[in-house]
Copies of this chain bind each other. A is one copy, B any other.
């Protein structure tokens, strides 16, 4: 994706009012209909697109007369209406004056708004049924006019959102080329209202709402305010809709930004991971700056800036109503262009040297991780990674420091294990030169093709200081042991390109007091939401594609975890460390060839507890690594620390561990992630799994169970069952027919209480990649 063109498109909303006013004006040359005239006008005003309602009030009137019976006051009239309704249901269609457009030219490039009075989630079965027929009729008509994008009215009630969603799903199947966009307020403003007393200095009344702004979502009739009563409510409805529509790629969001946005609030970030297609923005949401020009509230500003990654269509409504004193209609779109230019994502993409710039076109694109041990890399692959100035700079610094710190005065032996096309050899020589120490370099490489390049560089650049050795570092014989072993075997997750196993082999030719660069590395995880990545992973041809980790430049993703300790302090930070590898290993049991007898010591596992402050959907895990090269010089792609350790390093995108089935996580829940690094004689692979919990905040029961401490010897204590024998197994002397054992008389037992429980399990994923069946790394 290139950012040369603008990130956002701006559309203007034509209202029924606009159209009827235009109809009263004399026809313009080349614009034979009001809609054509308005479209031409919009183009001259600089709008990229036009958005308009598909139907007129006449259609609404006819539909209501047929489908809403006046409840038995006049039975004959009711029957006549029902007869008309049945005839319509059998063959649904429009009359000419019920639609705003009739010509292909009018429809060209237009996005239509479906009749916003259609109650697809009405409590009444018949209203819902007839609204569905009307919706299908409108979409069929739009299809006829070659329109590919329609915006649906928002759902109104949490109670029947599953019916709304089912209808949308049926329409997606019915209209195979139509993209449907669900209009939804970014949150239900009534929630915020209830929590705010009037702001100081702000009047109680706002400007009249612009036509086309959404209706309020009303609380459910039965008084449950599940969704509509909290700030996550509209997102929760969206989640039901897109889930019922099985994450269709033709289903998107028209996010309505009418309500004011807080400047920074966790509940907004989840929208980043959703399929936002349009942003609906009425002019009444703009406020006036000191000069009187329309500007947006700070929270809305930053939300729009961040949303630029979605390349949205911003639908401006009511820009022609003159709500603001200065700037006129054009001021609104000019202001939006200003936000676009100042969007951090747009700026980063335009700045050379950033990952964002380097990685253009790779955002949210799934790549299989490299397997450099099993496959010999291509020259072009080496070339790509050699472009990273930060990584090799840090390596050179690490080598330089190690040389400077090296206590012995005699010749220092360096060995580059896995030299590739030679970047670390060159950096080693440069570090040696800078340090003034006497040192030689061995360069080990097993890729015969890269070895040709190495020979060329030795001849041309390096000379006798460098000795080339051809072979696999796990098996090759090296003429002398090294003081400093340098390698670049790390993957996005640290150990995922078998650095631990390769260095196990290379340790044979490292002196017992030698050092390894890198000296250690850690793997890190965080739970992640992204409908884009979920869809990308399952779009893979094989069923296994959802069980394979991928290398991904994240963009439309949201980390679900919070940084707190969760409601009971069990949880770690937002991104948590899984495990560490250190080199050299000091306690190894080796065979006569200096190699470990088994790979058991490179097995790892981690169980991590994440707090989930805001409701979301788990689609996968984000994997990162951090490495200590030497001393305080390192490499990191950990989002919170990379800028301190290795800013603008380009070589690694994070790893993405997908989950086959999305796991819903409520606000204030906890996620327990298990991940294993497993190995046998031939392979290494990861398996992963997650469980979700809620904290029950009920007061503890009277008789809390004393947590009997786990006996220190319990492990070796194999034979003894029932550490303390259950007290209530009665003596054989008691009559079985006696009362003592009739539990049903004891009301406290009939409905057992969850004594002492705090965390309540609420869900889990399946185990992914068991036995490495979908993905393993060859030893």
Contact = CB atoms under 8 A, between A and B. Distances in A.
A213 B90 contact: no
Interface in A205-253: 205-209, 211-216, 218-219, 221-227, 229-232, 236, 240, 243-246
A290 B737 contact: yes
Contact of A162 (B603, B674, B756): B674
A306 to B, nearest CB: 15
Interface string A589-620: 10000001110100111010000010100000
Nearest to A295: B736
A716 B119 CA distance: 10
A388 interface: no
A736 B288 contact: yes
Contact of A730 (B86, B193, B199): B199
B615 A741 contact: no
Interface in A115-142: 115-117, 119, 122, 124-125, 127-129
Interface stretch (A400-408, A472-480, A639-647, A757-765): A757-765
A201 B734 CA distance: 8
Contacts of A637: none
Given A117-B719, A244-B767, A298-B741, 20 more contacts: A86-B597, A115-B718, A162-B674, A191-B752, A194-B705, A201-B740, A209-B721, A216-B723, A216-B724, A218-B708, A222-B570, A230-B754, A231-B754, A232-B754, A240-B764, A260-B728, A267-B752, A290-B735, A299-B743, A664-B762
Interface stretch (A412-420, A451-459, A462-470, A689-697): A689-697
Nearest to A119: B715
Nearest to A131: B715
Contacts of A116: 718-719, 721
Nearest to A289: B736
A77 interface: no
B664 A661 contact: no
A287 B68 contact: no
A290 B736 CA distance: 8
Contacts of A748: 195
Contact of A766 (B203, B244, B687, B740): B244
Interface string A465-496: 00000000000000000000000000000000
Given A163-B605, A213-B722, A215-B720, A729 B285 contact: yes
A742 interface: yes
Interface stretch (A166-174, A350-358, A442-450, A628-636): A166-174
Contact of A163 (B207, B216, B667, B674): B674
A570 B223 CA distance: 10
Nearest to A614: B752
A104 interface: no
A676 interface: yes
A226 B760 contact: yes
A654 B415 CA distance: 73
Contacts of A717: 117
20 contacts: A86-B597, A169-B767, A169-B771, A191-B755, A194-B705, A194-B756, A195-B753, A202-B730, A203-B731, A206-B725, A221-B710, A225-B757, A226-B760, A226-B761, A229-B756, A236-B761, A243-B764, A260-B741, A262-B744, A692-B762
Contacts of A159: 607
Given A86-B598, A757-B229, A767 B246 contact: yes
8 closest A-B pairs by beta carbon, nearest first, are A117-B718, A262-B743, A206-B729, A288-B732, A263-B744, A86-B597, A189-B726, A230-B754
Contacts of A734: 201-202, 287-288
A265 B735 CA distance: 22
Contacts of A22: none
Among A194, A195, A212, A288, chain B packs the most CB atoms within 10 A around the CB of A195
A213 B64 contact: no
A305 to B, nearest CB: 15
Secondary structure at the A interface, as helix, strand, loop or mixed, is loop
Interface residues of A, number: 192
A760 to B, nearest CB: 5
Contacts of A218: 708, 710-711, 714, 723
A763 B209 contact: no
A750 interface: yes
Contacts of A722: 189, 209, 213-216, 258
A118 to B, nearest CB: 8
Contact of A689 (B244, B740, B760): B244
A770 interface: yes
Contact of A736 (B199, B296, B740, B761): B296
Given A664-B764, A722-B214, A589 B202 contact: no
Nearest to A752: B231
Contacts of A269: none
A285 B162 CA distance: 50
Given A195-B749, A728-B193, A741-B287, A597 B770 contact: no
Interface string A177-200: 000000000000111111110111
A116 B190 CA distance: 59
Contacts of A694: 666, 694, 760, 762
B230 A166 contact: no
A297 interface: yes
Given A604-B125, A750-B262, A757-B226, A196 B236 contact: no
A344 B707 CA distance: 40
A374 interface: no
Contacts of A86: 589, 596-598, 600
A202 B740 contact: yes
A733 interface: yes
Contacts of A125: 603-605
Contact of A207 (B661, B732, B743): B732
A29 interface: no
A718 B119 CA distance: 9
B736 A224 contact: no
A771 B266 CA distance: 37
Contacts of A240: 691, 764
Contact of A705 (B169, B225, B716): B225
A82 to B, nearest CB: 5
A129 B678 CA distance: 10
A418 to B, nearest CB: 26
Nearest to A215: B721
Contacts of A221: 710
Contacts of A200: 740
A594 to B, nearest CB: 14
Given A666-B760, A715-B119, A756-B225, A165 B767 contact: yes
Contacts of A527: none
A726 B206 contact: yes
A597 to B, nearest CB: 4
Nearest to A296: B736
A244 B212 CA distance: 49
B763 A603 contact: no
